[in-house]
Amino acid sequence: MAKIEPHGHVTVLAALSPVHAGFPSPAQDYFDGSIDLNEHLIADPVATFIIRVAGDSMIGAGISDGDEVIVDRSLRPAEGNVVIAVVEGELTIKRLRLGAAGPELHPENPDYPVIRVSPGQELSIWGVVTRCLHRV
């Protein structure tokens, strides 16, 4: 199972201007105070957690092995959301699809099967993924 941790308070320095992906400007090498990442990344601090992803079933959604995802348990899961689901007692991250036959959990990698929930099979949506923290 994934390790689940409550969020922490993070403050970082903020640049005055955006960073250029082309040629850098030597005149723009100063900072303007700091920003609180909680204010930008977390809507409901009490219901928000960070979970580390293991595996590559969601690479098509830009979520890679070792990334951390921000999960908000206060959000109502909707068609197309990337969710953390509990299937038969195991956590998984997949895209939620609400088909006529019931909910399905779709990977974003063709090497993995769709999880179709059978009658009597245990499924609960633990939370909705709102952000992916991807290492570079």
* Alpha carbon distance 25, 16 (integer Å): 13
Residue 87 placed within a domain: yes
pLDDT digits over 23-78, tens only? 666 655 556 677 788 888 888 888 999 999 999 999 999 999 999 999 999 999 99
The answer to the question of residue 2 being in a domain is no
Active-site annotation holder among 3, 34, 64, 94: 94
| 57 counts as catalytic | yes
In this structure, the answer to whether residues 86 and 99 fall within a common structural domain is yes
> How many domains would you assign to the chain?
2
The pair phi, psi for residue 4, each rounded to 5°, is -110, 130
Q: What is the pLDDT of residues 101-119, one digit of tens each?
A: 889 999 999 999 999 988 8
Q: Name the phi and psi angles at 45, rounded to 5.
A: -55, -35
Q: Which residues contact 50 (CB under 8 A, 6 or more apart)?
A: 4, 5, 7, 68, 69, 70, 71, 133
* pTM, two decimal places: 0.76
Report how far residue 9's alpha carbon sits from residue 11's, in angstroms, rounded to the nearest whole number: 7
Three-state secondary structure call for residue 124: strand
Residues of the domain holding 91: 45-133
Choice among 57, 64, 118, 124 that is catalytic: 57
Angle, CA 65 vertex, CA 89 and CA 19 arms, to 5°? 130
Look up residue 110 and give its two tokens: 């063709």
Q: Catalytic site residue 94? A: yes
What CATH number is given to the structural domain containing 70?
Answer: 2.10.109.10
Distance, in Å, from the CA atom of 128 to the CA atom of 16, rounded to the nearest integer, reads 32
Would 1 be classed as within a structural domain?
Answer: no
